[in-house]
Amino acid sequence: MPSTFTHEFNTPTFKAKVSFSTGLFINGQFLNGSDNTTIEYDLPLSLIERFLLTSTILVSSTRVPNGKVITSVSEATPKDVDLAVDAAHKAFDTTWGLHAPGAQRSILMSKLVTLMEKNADELAALEALDNGKTFKWARNADVAGAIDCIRYYAGWADKVTGQVQETTEDKLTYTRHEPIGVVVKFTPLTAIRMCHLINEAGFPPGVVNVLTGYGNTVGNAISSHMKVEKVAFTGSTLVGRKIMEAAAKSNLKNVTLELGGKSPNIIFDDADIEQAVNWAAFGIFWNHGQTCCAGSRIYVQEGIHDEFLKRFTEKTRSLKVGDPFAPDTFQGPQVSEVQFNRIMSYIESGKSAGAKVEVGGERHGSEGYFIKPTIFTNVDPSMKIVQEEIFGPVGVVIKFKDEEDVIKQANDTVYGLAAAVFTQNLNRAINTAHRLKAGTAWINCVNSLNSNVPFGGFKQSGIGRELGEYALSNYTAVKSVHVNLGHRM
């Protein structure tokens, strides 16, 4: 039998006993992997599922934020990938895909949303336990966002339509947007708990499958699988390249990638300083800096630079770092020892390169993977802390002279995921936003996402878009149909 995760939550924000199977989820059942091996609760990613038109496989693995093993999960192998893909294909060909009307898919997705709302606190607690983010943010952002996302696409399920093209009177020509086939996405332990809700909602077996495994085995098998029609991946640019290479060498499967970022946050002289400080802190330190669109490069115009830095430093010092279940905690521990060490190595790199630590720059406490929110100044554009994605609570503050100067600096990166602009001048705000090479530009806010607004990057920050109507094109194939109404040769 697969392992069972059991945990007694007794925190100020959530009190309950949680218990569920941590087996692979294939064809509606929880199973051991083909080799009967397990993984010690390792490597979390993110919670956002899409259950619209496709039969879906979600690849899950998890890691503990305080270094203590909580449980184990069944380890998938390439054999299990074949089983999951076959189950997904069977569901796609018999009970889902073209065989489940949009209205039926919408009803099932709406049932799942209701169950997620009913179990929202538990899902948030699992997210907090899983990767160290605060329970409050997991509840109000991740879980709430996932609920909103599935509800949004439930509304789209029966509204994906083609067009009729005008050609000649003796011919009817139209297009159909058909489900693309088996799609693979990558996600964490919380998805395993979601599988129980998926069964409870009444989804046909095989529509959603979850495999817990390692990238070099399961991930590689999926990326190279001849029966997988698409891979949607969120993660590093390096892994994104490997997925694209595997897709090209196999069946030329579709690939959408949401990769790294080094997002600029531009604050002009006429900005509301208090709001700019609050948003800048949220932009870089939210979710302990482990956010792909984190505003890690903070550009401040010279007229307000010193005052902004003073207030920003004070704000950063006021952020509470600690127990993610404490109601007043803003920043929890980093997701793993590996990530903790990686972030600390970047901090040491900044110090060695001559950057000045205005605040933070060291471990918080003596246990766990806590890092003090860190601000660097006196940086050079060539420094690693300016050019490379740190994926942690580390930001740099850089003084700039004018619009031309900051646009040049902001675009000097291989990434292009997001950017932010703070100013009271609407013309300047829009002009700057349009000139920034980024897939998302926020004006007088940061890290504000909506399910109906597309999200994705330019340059090496990814390919394709998630969310909104734009995402539907990634999961459907357009077919043109020509009907002869009487023309004879």
Which residues are known to be catalytic?
Answer: 258
For residue 101, the number of C-alpha atoms closer than 13 Å in the C-beta half-sphere is 3
Beta bridge partners of 30: 25
Say how far apart CA 54 and CA 209 lie, in whole Å: 12
Q: Are 483 and 167 in contact (CB under 8 A)?
A: no
From the list 330, 336, 341, the residue with the least C-alpha distance to 373 is 330
Say how far apart CA 104 and CA 95 lie, in whole Å: 11
Q: Angle at Cα 277 formed by Cα 274 and Cα 282, nearest 5°? A: 130
Q: What are phi and psi of 461, to 5 degrees?
A: -90, 5
Instruction: Tell me the Cα Rg of the chain.
Output: 24
Cα separation values, 118 from 21, 25, 197, 289, Å: 19, 22, 10, 29
Q: Are 135 and 14 in contact (CB under 8 A)?
A: yes
In three state form, how does the secondary structure of the chain look? CCCEEEEEEECCCCEEEEEEECCEEECCEEECCCCCCEEECCCCCCCCCCCCCCEEEEEECCCCCCCCCCCEEECCCHHHHHHHHHHHHHHHHHCCHHHCCHHHHHHHHHHHHHHHHHCHHHHHHHHHHHHCCCHHHHHHHHHHHHHHHHHHHHHHCCCCCCCEECCCCCEEEEEEEEECCEEEEEECCHHHHHHHHHHHHCCCCCCEEEEECCHHHHHHHHHCCCCCCEEEEECCHHHHHHHHHHHHHCCCCEEEEECCCCCEEEECCCCCHHHHHHHHHHHHHHHHHCCCCCCCEEEEECCCHHHHHHHHHHHHHHCCECCCCCCCCCECCCCCHHHHHHHHHHHHHHHHCCCEEEECCCECCCCCCCECCEEEECCCCCCHHHHCCCCCCEEEEEEECCHHHHHHHHCCCCCCCEEEEECCCHHHHHHHHHHCCCCEEEECCCCCCCCCCCECCCHHHEECCECCHHHHHHCEEEEEEEEECCCCC
